A and B are shown apart, each in its own frame.
Chain A
Amino acid sequence: MKPGYVKRFSPVERLLHWVNALGFLFLLATGLILYLPRLSVLVSRRQTIQGLHFWGGVGWLAALAAVLVLGGRRLRATARELDSFDRDDLRWLRGGKAPQGRFNAGQKINAVLTAAFTILFGVSGLLLWFGEEDTRFRFASTVILHDGLMYVSLVLVVGHLYLTLIHPATRHALRGMTLGDVRVEWAMRHHSKWQPDDVHVDWPRARRG
């Protein structure tokens, strides 16, 4: 461990993040070609793009499932962290200053919504694919769901990218998701309630209120 740094994300957590991110961007790109008339004229090979989008989506879900299996107990512990909200989290969400754990409440909500959207993207995408040739799979609202998910996800991703690439106070977090570790003093400022188990520096107790 580099002195002055603390490990924030394990390799399997980072793998899950990047598999999800790359899959999302690939599907966003191919999806927009199918969705935006101007792009569809430019590319014009709809059948090819449609195949890439569908099989890309299948591959994305399969890769995510593989990482989840690989992560096993380690990722289940992460899921428990994301699942639980304490009073400080609720106070933080209402805009108050409140000490946060390894994930702040906003990150928890983002992760939970991203997971739920992945399921919904998968369900609506499969229905669109199979509904094209079988009326039993056709619902009037499938496109609306699939498109709506895209719009909401886009908003989340743009906000995510702003916080991780631009906003000075938070962009150090990118190091945690790439190299795995973050500066101790940064972690103490943003995640003071977090109790890392493998830190080799004197980790001050969080001060409350």
Chain B
Amino acid sequence: MDTPPVIEGQEPQPEEPRRYGRKLFLATVVGGVSSLYWGKAAWDQVTGVVSPVAGAIAPILPTGGWRIYTISGHMPVFDPASWRLRIGGLVEQPVSLTYDELRSLPRAEQVTTFHCVTGWSVKNVHWAGVRIHDVLARAKPHASGHALQFTSMEVPYIDYLTLEQASLHDVMLAYEMDGKPLAREHGAPVRLIIPEMYGYKNVKWLQGIDVVDQAGQGYWEGLGYDKDAWVGRSNGY
């Protein structure tokens, strides 16, 4: 067996192995579990306060910060020949827009941050598209309509906004993201953008907008999420 060298005039020091393994194990587990409470704040500190760092990190992440959530087996495919955006419900004149007709409406642009209810955000997304009132104007909604139902090509995904929510200044039907036509995974050809609310209200793969008398229960709301998904003020945050 090994014995440590005995130095004259000193007691031989038996070598006690230290139990560092279990300490490292416990520290890692405790640190990891507790990060459920401080992880996002710490991450926001790194990416938010030190903005050069944020700018440097974001492009390195292979996702650009996005996560693609779908609820059905198959991600919808946009076919320009057959796709239409239907505006109906409590309107005088139901409208069906082709992709080109949608693109010919007054163009709006904005740079806003996208927040997901599961905790991730993508800062400074450059959107281009049309304002909802420019689309609705053609259909002439009845005065009895107080909300909008947004229907996705991804069945059975629907969600609602009140007319008041839908008329916030930065609500948009976006057909471009960061200078490029909206990609399939982001909801091609057009998605709803309401930056003040979590992503599940930002319906992707839009195919219909119906004027209704009141906001109903959207897909995720049926699973317990809040109807009004204000960022930072809903869903338990």
Q: Quick one: which of A37, A116, A140 contacts B25, CB cutoff 8 A?
A: A116
A208 at the interface (CB under 8 A from B): yes
Report yes or no: B73 in contact with A144, Cβ–Cβ below 8 A: no
Report yes or no: A208 in contact with B21, Cβ–Cβ below 8 A: no
A142 at the interface (CB under 8 A from B): yes
Report yes or no: A86 in contact with B68, Cβ–Cβ below 8 A: no
Q: Quick one: which of A83, A141, A208 contacts B39, CB cutoff 8 A?
A: A141
Interface string of A66-98 (1 = CB under 8 A from B): 000000000000010011111100000000000
A200 at the interface (CB under 8 A from B): no
A139 at the interface (CB under 8 A from B): yes
A83 to B131, CA, bound (A): 62
Q: Quick one: which of A124, A141, A195 contacts B37, CB cutoff 8 A?
A: A141
Q: Quick one: which of A117, A132, A134, A209 contacts B28, CB cutoff 8 A?
A: A117
Report yes or no: A84 in contact with B19, Cβ–Cβ below 8 A: yes
A40 to B38, CA, bound (A): 29
| Shortest Cβ gap from A168 to chain B (Å) | 29
Chain A residue, CB-CB nearest to B22:
A83
Q: Which residues of B contact A112 (CB under 8 A)?
A: 21, 24-25, 28
Report yes or no: A140 in contact with B73, Cβ–Cβ below 8 A: no
A83 to B18, CA, bound (A): 8
Report yes or no: A37 in contact with B66, Cβ–Cβ below 8 A: yes
Chain B residue, CB-CB nearest to A135:
B236
Interface string of A93-127 (1 = CB under 8 A from B): 00000000000000011001101110110011001
Report yes or no: B18 in contact with A120, Cβ–Cβ below 8 A: no
B143 at the interface (CB under 8 A from A): no
Select the stretch in A2-10, A14-22, A43-51, A181-189 that faces chain B: A43-51
Report yes or no: A41 in contact with B21, Cβ–Cβ below 8 A: no
A133 to B62, CA, bound (A): 28
Chain A residue, CB-CB nearest to B237:
A140
Interchain Cβ contacts under 8 Å between A and B, 9 examples: A46-B68, A84-B21, A86-B16, A86-B17, A123-B33, A135-B225, A139-B36, A206-B2, A208-B2
